[in-house]
Amino acid sequence: MKRLAYIDWMRGLACVLMFQTHCYDSWLSPEARKSSLFTWSQLGGTFPAPLFLFLAGVSFALVTERLREKGTPGNDIAKTTIRRGAEIFGAGLLFRVQEFAFGYGWAPWTDLLRVDILNILGISMMLMGVLCWLSAAPSQRKDSSLEEPALRYEYVERSRSRGIVAALAAAAGVALATPALWTSYRPHWLPWPLESYINGVHIYDKPQPWLFPLFPWSAFAFVGLAVGFVLFSGIAKRSEAALFAALGAAGLLACVLARYFDSLRFSYYTAYDYWHTSPNFFLMRCGLLLLMLFAIYAWCRWGLAQLGFSPIIQLGKTSLLVYWVHIEFVYGRLSILPKHKCTILQASVGLLIIFLSMLVLSLLRTRWKNRHAQTQRVSATSATT
């Protein structure tokens, strides 16, 4: 499948926002952290996780649609997509083991069970695989592919519509259930490592907003799944630009509604925490994601995003790798600057070094991957001649 530039650009933007947030958070001195730069840096840091999850949902929908259009049986699609989610979840567990090993001596053993973004990304992908299988047209749940083009087209259209409704319903359900699961209806009966996947409680007496539990974070993936299915609809194929403009308008409407709902004096929950668990804040962030999607699509189609080499797109192609590697050079023992002792200028220079280093790493990874793929094609051609 040809890579979609706006998806890579959004993912690359998430990487850049992640770099600056982590670098300033790790290196700035207590005095420098009082600056407005640090405040804005942390505000920008609220976007990477929703972006990664949202784009995972979009990509998940595109892959599922491609497999459906090829006539792949629904059970096989589910196995393929759920297996990929399991791989990401396994990578998240391996990442925690690596971080614990590098931090041996000062990192508590409980860090091995901390719920991080990769863990939730993998579980969200597995849940999306189950949801796509359950919401597909009934005939596709059998292990027989659809040979007739007309029947296959009908099946794909019906499955797409059902998938959009199911994904939006799942996102709404997660968002609405989050406040209760963080407060009055916490699953105390679960061991803390399992409860942490529900509300991010970890080893503490209450949920922690800096962790990434399923509630509310998986909802961003479900929204991305719905948007991804919309991008494969007939309207998108006929009037792509108009559809993206409509998504941008929907994002603006979501922001307005979020402000309106937040201004109401009543609440259905015993505790109202706008910035962490409120469905209104979730709606606001979804609106901002849709606005960003439209703006980046326009930038990639009519702007300068693809004029020559784009470092942002390049980072987006290897986002998992650069996420994995940069953490150790910012927060770990291999940190390139002393932690909590740097001025804004020193931390900014360090941020530039991290950005350029991760860009070089991304280029090397892409070159190796292309060379490996070319070698496989040559070997396959030689075997058939």
pLDDT band at 143 (very low <50, low <70, confident <90, very high): very low
Q: What is the arithmetic mean of pLDDT over 249-258? A: 97
Average pLDDT over residues 244-249: 96
Residue 385 scores a pLDDT above 70: no
The Cα angle at residue 85 between residues 82 and 89, in degrees rounded to 5? 135
Q: Token match 């494969």: residue? A: 232
Residue identified by tokens 């350029």 is 356
Mean pLDDT of the chain: 91
* Whether pLDDT at 161 is above 90: yes
Task: Say how far apart CA 64 and CA 135 lie, in whole Å.
Answer: 12
Q: What angle do CA 333, 41, 220 make, to 5 degrees?
A: 95
Token duo for residue 44: 């920008």
Express as a percent the part of the chain with pLDDT over 70.
93
d(CA 363, CA 358): 9
Average the pLDDT over 305-334 and give the result.
Answer: 92
Question: SS3 for 4?
Answer: coil
- What integer pLDDT is reported at residue 139 of this predicted model? 63
Indicate whether 140 pLDDT > 70: no
Secondary structure (3-state) at 304: coil
Query: What is the structure's pLDDT at 237?
Result: 81
Q: How far apart are CA 335 and CA 103, in angstroms?
A: 12
Q: Which two tokens stand for residue 207?
A: 């949920």
Q: Which amino acid is at 315?
A: L
Higher pLDDT, 151 or 112: 112
User: Does 100 or 290 have the greater pLDDT score?
Assistant: 290
Q: Mean pLDDT throughout 171-179?
A: 96
pLDDT of residue 384: 61
- The answer to whether 52 and 7 are in contact (CB under 8 A) is no
- For residue 279, the model assigns a pLDDT of 94
pLDDT at 92: 95
Q: Tell me the per-residue pLDDT of 327-368, one tens digit each, with 9 for 90 and over.
A: 999 998 899 999 999 999 999 999 999 999 999 999 999 999
Q: Mean pLDDT, to the nearest integer, of 131-137? A: 93
CB burial of residue 60 (10 Å; 0-12, 13-18, 19+): buried
Give 174's Cβ-side CA count (13 Å radius).
23
Structure confidence at residue 147 (pLDDT): 63
Closest CA to 62 of 217, 294, 221, 227: 227
Closest CA to 141 of 68, 89, 204, 197: 68
pLDDT of 382 strictly over 80: no
Annotated domain spans of the chain: 5-384
pTM reported for the whole predicted model:
0.93
Report pLDDT for 63: 94
DSSP 2: P
Distance (Å, whole) CA 347 – CA 31: 13
> Mean per-residue pLDDT for 82-111?
91
Can you state the percent helix, strand and coil of the chain, rounding each to 5? Answer: 75, 0, 25
Residue with the larger pLDDT of the pair 126 and 308: 126
